[in-house]
Structure 1
Amino acid sequence: MGINVQFSDVTYKVVMKGMTTSEEKDILKGITGCVSPGEVLALMGPSGSGKTSLLSLLGGRITHHPTVGGSITYNDQPYSKFLKSRIGFVTQDDVLFPHLTVKETLTYAARLRLPNTLTQEQKEQRALDVIYELGLERCQDTMIGGSFVRGVSGGERKRVCIGNEIIINPSLLLLDEPTSGLDSTTALRIVQMLQHIAEAGKTVVTTIHQPSSRLFHKFDKLILLGKGSLIYFGKASEAMSYFQYIGCSPLITMNPAEFLLDLANGNINDVSVPSELEDKVQMGNLSEAETRNGKPSPALVQEYLVEAYETRVAEIEKKKLLVPIPLDEELKSKVLCSKRQWGASWCEQFSILFLRGFKERRHDYFSWLRITQVLSTAVILGLLWWQSDAKNPKGMQDQAGLLFFIAVFWGFFPVFTAIFTFPQERAMLNKERATDMYRLSAYFVARTTSDLPLDLILPVLFLLVVYFMAGLRLSAGPFLLSILTVFLCIVAAQGLGLAIGATLMDLKRATTLASVTVMTFMLAGGFFVKRVPIFISWIRYISFNYHTYKLLLKVQYDEEVTPMINGIRIDSGSTEVVALIAMVFGYRLLAYFSLRWMNVS
């Protein structure tokens, strides 16, 4: 069953913070309207008129905000968490993973979002049904694509975004400018698809910037906004008659949408001037700010349109909202339910997100650029330390330098890779969490573990080249322990990158902080400075470079023969292992709580 949405006197303000003072800005000023199942409501208006803000309020994206006023009801009930599973929200930006195919994208969405009463096969069949419903069968095995990856066309991307939402068969579908950036034929196909969705008994609300005349006539209802105020609400087919009735008629043949947007902007160049405004201009009662070249100013025109709507139409529409609507009692009781309904258990969410993350990022991990970077560095190191001899003090000193470089390289590299993780996926995380697609903990654990199998491959290749070219200790035990030590360093360094990225969520600030931190850890790593002043010596104990370097020395050299190498005492290594494991979990906990705080705020 569809959802009847009614909103009355909706207001919304935001606080604009300046250098010294802050002021409240009105985004929406008393907006009233309604939309019923089977109808498509279009929200129109110039840029900055409040269309997206109103759509976000109707979709429950802005709730319990101190600057939101008025009432919004869904089948006569206020917004509740249950409604998240009944509302589809298509954002203006196409937030999709570029390396997944159309079929994979919709299948993962189905497995995560559809009720857990359905089997995996039923969920996958629903994804296929949506692909055919949206006409995407031709490109179902094509990657979505992005800035650096070729993929599907703009219209197909938009249909995939819509498919992500209609896959749950929502009662209410909200779309933010679904036709922006598309050619007129593709835009018409999208709007026709919205019509079909509405005809199936759903409620559809969409913002639209400047539709063609063909698109305009597809809408059932229209809300026209101007600077946050309501200029018109009613049937789209009656909009032109209403404005002619209040004295605003086009003087030339115009696209209705273009005419309405001109009015919302206060532009009446090719529009007849209402007699009331014309009288004011001729009588000379207006100030210079209220006239322009002998015509009313845009601000005065907007003021007239708002006033005309409030005096002639607003009260009639508000009375219509008071008429009770027959409701499905079962749905009415469910709307009152505030319990979240997850589409999959925690373990299922983890396994789905793990697999999705692995498929998405394997392309980045095994790009020729990354492999070339690691292997070329390994070959250069192998040539510089070619068959070094650790039997004499000078050779051992040289090898210690190589081991320190390995500790620094595999500490530096993962930090700056991991920093990008959460800032780059922030839009996706916000979008998916807003629909209760999965638990944050399931996402976090899956996101931070799906990289681990990939993280082991390049270090093994690196060490296979360096280890034997440089003539390090040739036996299976030390080689495997060296790999494990480097892997532990990588995971600890990744934790630091994740924590910095999640805490700051700004790439410029995050990379600056990471540069300073990694440089400090490197300098305190035990190779450059042997006698560190006691007041700053504590830094080496929180440096993963220091602990990795000590472990690599321990693996290569027997502590009984050489208890001190390059100024560093060789001991059992248990302290270093414990320290690195503590960093692995400690930094990740910090990253998780930073994400949790971001989500709450």
Structure 2
Amino acid sequence: MSSNNDPVLISMPQRNSDVLPGMSFSDQKGPVLSFHNICYEVKEKRGCLFNLKTIKSKKLSDVNGIMKPGLNAIMGPSGGGKSVLLDVSAARKDPSGLSGDILINGAPRPANFKYNSGFVVQDDLVLSTLTVRENLAFSVALRLPTTMKKHEKDKRIKMVIDELGLDKVADSKYVDTQFVRGIAGEEIKRTSIAMGLITDPSILFLNEPTAGLDWSTANAIFSLLKKISEQGRTIIFSFHELQNSVFNLFDSLTILALGKLMFHGPTEKALTYFESAGYRCELYNNPSDFFMDVINGDSPPVIVNRKKVYEVNEAGQLFMRKLRMIDKLAQFYTKSPLLRETETELEKLSGGQNYGSPSFKEITYVTTLCHQFRWIFWHSFRKLVGHLWPWILQIIIALILGLIIGGTFLALKNDCTEIQNRTWSLYVLTVFQSIMSISARDIFLMERNIFILEYISGYYRVLSYFLGKLVFDLLQEFFFPSFIFTLVVYLMLGLKRGITAFLIIMITALMVNYSATSMILAIGIHENAASGKTLLVTSYFVFMLVFLGMSLNSETMAPQLSWLQYFSIPHYGYMALQHNEFWGRNFCPTLNITNDNHCPGYVICSGEEFLLMQDMDLSPWGLWRNHVALNILIFIFLIIAYLRMLCLKRNS
């Protein structure tokens, strides 16, 4: 479905509806995913800072296989390549290191395969402040066309909720996370699966769906997946270790170690195959544990054979034995009838054609940028409403700090003796706006993994996410605390009155805040608090605030350092505040009226005189050029932050 406003999305085959490539409608039972001679390499940098070398590391080596409708399991030891094969099959890896063919029913995957297939990551990345139904509504709003009626989308949500047995917790206030106690772990995993199924995909990928769950919950999850697969879906998943009752639910099994195939075929043939290789599973042994023991060289036959060569260097011996065992099993598989059967079936599927290395083009989305922006803004708002106390606490802290600063410089007098206190109050106002922006890195960092998952799944463009999150968080997290602090200080200190003077103070304070925020985003948009780039930002502000404090008395400033002011965000804000506060002020109002004058002859009596001493331009441009400079810095830093988000997307 499409309209003039919504770009056409190449639709992925849907179960029981569309005819899949390579199959007639009469014989269609579900999609068959096949991979032909798949190799995958990544470039890794190794060495010290001055001797970095880029080497190629092979993650998959000549992997062949067929995934039919049903439960298709991929297992292996850590670092064996199971997650890489899963991601490559789902088109979620950089295709530049990929060679071989991945086909759907004998035809190349459509360009938007990764958007229309379902993918469930290992971590449950659902927003804790939304209900199950609201999380699904967000996914539906961005992944289904806007031409689809609201009642149709609601029907889709209800269908998925009923299919996964979430009807009793659909409107629960919170889902369970590290910080918020909500629904049980099984319901959380079901919610993640529901997010993957919301577009009704024919192929569903899951990365270790039972990681962190107890055996009873894992059994319930796989029983659910088995039921879903019986509806004509091809479900492909990775796992590390499972109990025997769950293992018997699998239709096919793929075992990988160091990127090489140890076994691929029907699950019921796995034990017989390993027995033919000389490794027999004991009667009450868990098959998945048995396979891992064989690969690691810990099965009973291997242990008996190695007693004669047991040496002191146990760790090295274990590693070398594991490598030899993997090579032995890989060689055995290449000569097995199972591989020949797989190759014969692959030949039938591909028709003997070689499609070359897969590549994917950037495609259009089913929703417009404005539609995505609106839903991301709503998403952020719901997150705030569901977790309001941190924001309220931030407001309270800003209010208390404002009262403390206001009490320190309470009711500044309009005479020459208070000029120094007045400049110090403006300095403190500037310092607060700069320091408050340090938390800006959390705008995108806290939801970094969710952003990567949702972007790859085709929820939104990077630009719509960037603008939606930025606009809301600048309003919610920075505007209100900054406004309240500045308002309290302005009223308590008795700064220059008048609506124009008030607006200039408020605008300047916000611009300093937003400039500093933009710089932090540009440098550390996805860096943690301990990273070198974050420490660099902190060092910058410490130095610039010290430099600004020295500039309070321009006579103490070394001329050789004067050029640093052009790189200082606080400097522009402070100069604008001074110009606004002192221009047109008379600090000796009784000078021409009475001889009772408290100002000695060497004391400044007018604001213009003070500004001239600071080498400031008295014209309106002397004020507004600081605002222009801050606006330019905001624009440059936000562009850099956006480009860095694009790099984060590209490297994810």
Do they fold alike, i.e. is TM over 0.5? Answer: yes
- Judging changes above 3 Å, is the alpha-carbon distance between structure 1 residues 45 and 497 closer, same or farther for their aligned structure 2 residues? same
- Judging changes above 3 Å, is the alpha-carbon distance between structure 1 residues 298 and 547 closer, same or farther for their aligned structure 2 residues? closer
Q: Secondary structure at the match of 1:72?
A: strand
Question: Residue 90 of structure 1 is aligned with which of 120, 135, 139?
Answer: 120
Aligned partners of 2:315 and 2:443: how far apart in 1? 54
In the TM superposition, what is the alpha-carbon distance from 1:581 to its structure 2 partner?
A: 1.8
In the TM superposition, what is the alpha-carbon distance from 1:347 to its structure 2 partner?
A: 0.8
Q: 2:394 aligned with 1:370, yes or no?
A: yes
Question: Residue 381 of structure 2 is aligned with which of 342, 358, 363?
Answer: 358
Q: 2:581 aligned with 1:581, yes or no?
A: no
- Residue deviations 1:35-77, cap 9 Å, x none? 12x22100011111111011011011124223x3332222223
- Judging changes above 3 Å, is the alpha-carbon distance between structure 1 residues 384 and 291 closer, same or farther for their aligned structure 2 residues? closer
Aligned to 2:160: 130
- Residue deviations 1:191-229, cap 9 Å, x none? 122222222211110001111111101110000122322
Question: Residue 72 of structure 1 is aligned with which of 102, 105, 128?
Answer: 102
Aligned partners of 1:357 and 1:503: how far apart in 2? 18
- Judging changes above 3 Å, is the alpha-carbon distance between structure 1 residues 8 and 419 closer, same or farther for their aligned structure 2 residues? same
Q: How does 1:118-267 map to 2 (within 5 A)?
A: 118-139=148-169, 140-267=171-298
Aligned partners of 2:403 and 2:562: how far apart in 1? 34
Aligned to 1:105: 135
Aligned to 2:67: 35
- Residue identity opposite 1:267 in structure 2: D
Aligned partners of 1:7 and 1:325: how far apart in 2? 10
Aligned to 1:330: none
Q: 2:459 aligned with 1:437, yes or no?
A: yes
Aligned partners of 2:547 and 2:518: how far apart in 1? 19
In the TM superposition, what is the alpha-carbon distance from 1:378 to its structure 2 partner?
A: 1.3
- Judging changes above 3 Å, is the alpha-carbon distance between structure 1 residues 379 and 288 closer, same or farther for their aligned structure 2 residues? closer
Q: Secondary structure at the match of 2:264?
A: strand
Q: Secondary structure at the match of 1:65?
A: helix
Q: Which runs of 4+ in 1 moved over 6 A?
A: 284-293
In the TM superposition, what is the alpha-carbon distance from 1:361 to its structure 2 partner?
A: 4.1
Aligned partners of 1:266 and 1:259: how far apart in 2? 10
- Judging changes above 3 Å, is the alpha-carbon distance between structure 1 residues 508 and 255 closer, same or farther for their aligned structure 2 residues? same
Q: Secondary structure at the match of 2:381?
A: helix
Question: Residue 417 of structure 2 is aligned with which of 357, 372, 394?
Answer: 394
- Residue identity opposite 1:448 in structure 2: L
Aligned to 1:556: 581
Aligned partners of 1:235 and 1:127: how far apart in 2? 34
**Contact 1:8–1:32, Cα closer than 8 Å, also in 2:** yes
In the TM superposition, what is the alpha-carbon distance from 1:287 to its structure 2 partner?
A: 12
- Residue identity opposite 1:443 in structure 2: Y
Aligned partners of 2:89 and 2:325: how far apart in 1? 28
- My pick for the range that moved more, 113-122 or 527-536, is 527-536
**Contact 1:503–1:591, Cα closer than 8 Å, also in 2:** no
Question: Residue 87 of structure 2 is aligned with which of 49, 56, 67?
Answer: 56
In the TM superposition, what is the alpha-carbon distance from 1:537 to its structure 2 partner?
A: 2.5
- Residue identity opposite 2:582 in structure 1: Y
- Judging changes above 3 Å, is the alpha-carbon distance between structure 1 residues 101 and 197 closer, same or farther for their aligned structure 2 residues? same
Aligned partners of 1:289 and 1:547: how far apart in 2? 65
**Contact 2:412–2:421, Cα closer than 8 Å, also in 1:** yes
- Residue identity opposite 1:141 in structure 2: S
Aligned partners of 1:291 and 1:525: how far apart in 2? 59
- My pick for the range that moved more, 7-16 or 372-381, is 7-16
Q: Secondary structure at the match of 1:446?
A: helix
In the TM superposition, what is the alpha-carbon distance from 1:558 to its structure 2 partner?
A: 3.3
Q: Secondary structure at the match of 2:192?
A: helix
- Residue deviations 1:230-274, cap 9 Å, x none? 1111111221122223331124521122112212222212xx469
Q: How does 1:414-453 map to 2 (within 5 A)?
A: 414=437, 416-453=438-475
Aligned partners of 2:315 and 2:480: how far apart in 1? 72
- Residue deviations 1:129-173, cap 9 Å, x none? 323322223333322353333333332222222222111111211
**Contact 1:420–1:507, Cα closer than 8 Å, also in 2:** no
Aligned partners of 1:339 and 1:508: how far apart in 2? 32
Aligned partners of 2:634 and 2:133: how far apart in 1? 35
- Residue identity opposite 1:557 in structure 2: F
Aligned partners of 1:489 and 1:513: how far apart in 2? 19
- Residue deviations 1:169-197, cap 9 Å, x none? 11211110000101112111211222222
Aligned to 2:548: 525
**Contact 2:394–2:481, Cα closer than 8 Å, also in 1:** no
- Judging changes above 3 Å, is the alpha-carbon distance between structure 1 residues 534 and 146 closer, same or farther for their aligned structure 2 residues? farther
Q: Secondary structure at the match of 2:37?
A: strand
Q: How does 1:329-368 map to 2 (within 5 A)?
A: 340-361=363-384, 363=387, 366-368=390-392
**Contact 2:429–2:486, Cα closer than 8 Å, also in 1:** no
Q: 2:56 aligned with 1:11, yes or no?
A: no
Q: Secondary structure at the match of 1:563?
A: helix
* Structure 2 unaligned spans of 5+: 1-14, 16-29, 352-357, 586-605
Aligned partners of 1:507 and 1:3: how far apart in 2? 47
- Judging changes above 3 Å, is the alpha-carbon distance between structure 1 residues 103 and 510 closer, same or farther for their aligned structure 2 residues? farther
Question: Residue 323 of structure 1 is aligned with which of 337, 340, 348?
Answer: 348
Aligned to 2:599: none
Aligned to 1:331: none
Aligned partners of 1:255 and 1:503: how far apart in 2? 42
Q: Secondary structure at the match of 1:322?
A: helix
- Residue deviations 1:503-522, cap 9 Å, x none? 86775223211112212332
Aligned partners of 1:542 and 1:166: how far apart in 2? 51
Q: 2:614 aligned with 1:565, yes or no?
A: no
Normalising by structure 1, we get a TM-score of 0.88
**Contact 1:423–1:506, Cα closer than 8 Å, also in 2:** no
Aligned partners of 1:55 and 1:61: how far apart in 2? 9
In the TM superposition, what is the alpha-carbon distance from 1:325 to its structure 2 partner?
A: 8.3
Aligned partners of 2:609 and 2:128: how far apart in 1? 51
Aligned partners of 1:77 and 1:339: how far apart in 2? 20
Aligned to 1:472: 495
* Structure 1 unaligned spans of 5+: 327-334
Aligned partners of 1:483 and 1:317: how far apart in 2? 71
In the TM superposition, what is the alpha-carbon distance from 1:539 to its structure 2 partner?
A: 2.9
- My pick for the range that moved more, 449-458 or 551-560, is 551-560
- Residue identity opposite 1:85 in structure 2: Y
- Residue deviations 1:363-394, cap 9 Å, x none? 368445423432221121122112221x2223
